[in-house]
Structure formats: C-alpha cells, structure tokens
Amino acid sequence: MTAPLLEVRDVGQRFRASGGMFAKTRQVVAVDGVSLRLETGGVLGVVGESGCGKSTLAKIILGLIKPTSGDVLIDGRSLTTMDRRERARLIQPVFQDPFSSLNPRQRIRDIVALPLTAQGGIPAGEIRKRVDAMLSRVGLDPAMGERLPAQLSGGQRQRVAIARALVLHPRLVVCDEPTSALDVSVQAQILNLLAELRLEFGLSYLFISHNLAVVEHVASEVAVMYLGRIVERNEASALFHAPRHPYTKALLASVLTPEPGLGIPETGLGDAMPDPANVPSGCRFHPRCPVAVERCSRDSPTTERAGAGIVECHLAPVG
C-alpha cells in the first residue's frame, strides 16, 4: 500500500495561557490526539464549532505551528524534514477572510506571484506568464493584476487568494472556511471554482468549515471535531445519512432550513460552551450530550471502527 498524500499521526497541540505574572499558567488543549488520512484526489471535510481546534489543525498541517506531539506526513515524509520551499510546493492555504489574507500594500500581480518569487531562480518573464494564466483561470482579467486589494470585491479577492494558492501547482490545498466570509451568491461560485480546479490540477483539499451544507456539497469524507478531538469520521454520504455520534446528530439537526417560520432549530445541546482550557472528565462531550449516561462522565470512550470510518462514543452503534 502506498503512503497517502496526507497523514496526520496523533497530533496534539497545547498552549500555555498565562494570566499574568503571578497567575497560575493554565494549559489550553487546542488539538488532542488527532489522526487523519487523505488520499490523492480526495476532499476531507473537517467540521466543528468555533474554538474546537479546526484552525489550529489547519495551521499545523500548513507547517505554520509545530505540534507539541505527533507528526504530519506528506507522501510519507514528515513535514519537519522539509525546507520552506519544498513545503510550499506541496501545500498551500486558502484562508477565510479575503480582506486580511491579501497584503493591502501590494499589487494583485505581486501577491499571486509570491509563492513563485519565494522559490527563487524563476525568471521574471516566466513568473509574469504564469501569474497571468492563473488569474484568467480563476476568472479574473489579467489587467486586474495592476490593482490593489482594496479595489476588488470580496469574491474577487478570494479568487486572488485561490490563484496564489494554485500558482505553484501544489498537491494539497488547505481551505480554512474559504466561503464563510462571502455573500451567499458568491459562495456558490467560489465552491464551483474550487471543484473545477481540483479536477483540472489533480488537487486534494482539506476543507475546514462550520457550514455542514457546504461540506456535504464538496467533501468525499468528513471528520467531526469536538474540543480538539475527532469524535466521528466517515465517508460523507454515510456520515450525513447515518450519523453515529450524538454530537454529529446535533450538528446535523442544527442546520438552518431556508423555510421561513421554522425558527432556529433545537439541538438539545444546551448552552454550556466547551472550554478548551478546562476539558471535562470522561467523554469530553458528556456535559452537553442529550443521551449521556453515568459512565460517560467517568470513562473516556475509545476510538471504534464504524463502517468505513471511526466513532468515539460509548453509546454509538459500531461495526
């Protein structure tokens, strides 16, 4: 069996949160023992509430922060053994907010060219040609390259961010909520563009979102994160049609329907927000779980195989 494109092995990330000189330092567990696999050409969706560690996981996979434990492998090689240029040729990001992901002081052309210039040794004419080609591929007029980010709309900016991510022809693109800052009408365009480009360039996506409808649309496999752990992972169709973990069920129940008059759906989760600085004992989901039993507050559930995926719950049907 060949190595998968992306393998995340038992990655953990703890931050020390200091409350001042004399306060006791607390530990924030942002990511705790996460393992993932993504084959070439696949789209792995990662969903969860804000603060569950999705973005920290994205930063670890991008090599922006070094995990406190575990390892990230690309094509079977550890991220830590690569230099910055090699890593850039394999993985590129598309961030959530197109207003902060483009340097306001640089022309669009220079922003898109950045991964090429950082590689070094590519002639200026070649860079120009590739930037122009990439701009027209993402649906922008190459003449726009002379403009500044402030002169572009949100959708155009996100196209610029996509062009920058793809100009080096990476193998994996980490999309951290790429559409959640955009207007609904533009979201669909960007999602379709991402889908086209994936086929055209043979890309794989790690697609992070809190929007289940978007993930259902793009992902071939979905991982559900809660308080830094993956609580359920499965093929997209299986996960959406037969969720096993109570948290996944609650998330699916919380999806807003376009029907007016239905109001905000009841999830049964209560309003106790999870706090990564204070992870509950036993199953970390038990204080909010609608079906928790006495055992859940005592024993941590183990990861069980469930169909093609995994689930981490004492009560979930396995096998």
Partner 1 sequence: MRALRNAGLCVGAVIVGFTLLVAIFAPILATQDPFAQDLSRRLIVPFWMEGGSTNHLLGTDQLGRDYLARLIYGARISMLIGIMTVVTSGAIGVAMGVIGGFFGGRIDDMILFAITARLSIPLILVALAVVSLVGSSLTVVVMTLGLLLWDRFAVVARVSTMQIRTLDFVAAAWSAGCSRPRILLREVLPNILSPLAVVATLEMALAILLEAALSFLGLGVPPPLPSWGLMIAEAKDYMFFSPWVIMVPGLSLCALVFGINLLGDGLRDLLKTGRTT
- Restricting to residues 28-87, which ones interact with partner 1 according to CB under 8 A? 59, 62-64, 84-85, 87
Q: Among residues 13 and 234, whose Cβ is nearest to partner 1?
A: 13
Site for partner 1 in 134-193 (CB under 8 A): 149-150, 161, 164, 168
Least distance in Å: CB of 279 to partner 1?
25
Q: In DSSP terms, which residues pair with 227 in a beta bridge?
A: none
Member of 106, 180, 189, 303 binding partner 1 (CB under 8 A):
106
Whether residue 107 contacts residue 128, with contact meaning beta carbons closer than 8 Å, is answered with no
- 212 is written with which tokens? 């289940």
- The residue among 114 and 238 lying less far from partner 1, judged by its C-beta, is 114
For residues 236 and 45, give the distance between their C-alpha atoms in angstroms, rounded to a whole number. 8
Q: Which of 18, 25, 78, 103 binds partner 1 (CB under 8 A)?
A: 103
Interaction between residue 114 and partner 1 (CB under 8 A): yes
Cα–Cα distance, 236 to 256 (Å, whole number): 19
Residue 9: partners with Cβ closer than 8 Å, 6 or more residues away: 35, 70, 71, 72, 73
By CB under 8 A, tell whether 16 contacts partner 1: no
Q: Binding to partner 1 (CB under 8 A): which residues in 117-136?
A: 118-119
The least distance separating partner 1 from the CB of residue 57, rounded to whole angstroms, comes to 14
Which residue of 99, 130, 142, 144 would you call a contact of partner 1, by CB under 8 A?
Answer: 99
User: Given the rule CB under 8 A, which of 31-39, 99-107, 187-195, 308-316 is the region that contacts partner 1?
Assistant: 99-107
Tell which phi-psi region holds residue 31, choosing left (phi > 0), alpha (psi between -120 and 50) or beta. Answer: beta
> Which is closer to partner 1, CB of 181 or CB of 215?
181
DSSP conformation letters of 258-309: S-TTS-SPP-S--S----TTSPPSSSTTTTT-TT--GGGGTSPPPPEEETTE
State the nearest-atom distance from the C-beta of 113 to partner 1, in Å. Answer: 10
Phi, psi (degrees; rounded to nearest 5) at 134:
-70, -35
CB 23 → partner 1: shortest distance, Å? 17
Instruction: Kindly report the number of other CB atoms within 10 A of residue 142's CB atom.
Output: 15
* Residues forming the site for partner 1 (CB under 8 A): 59, 62-64, 84-85, 87-89, 91-93, 95-97, 99-106, 111, 114-115, 118-119, 149-150, 161, 164, 168
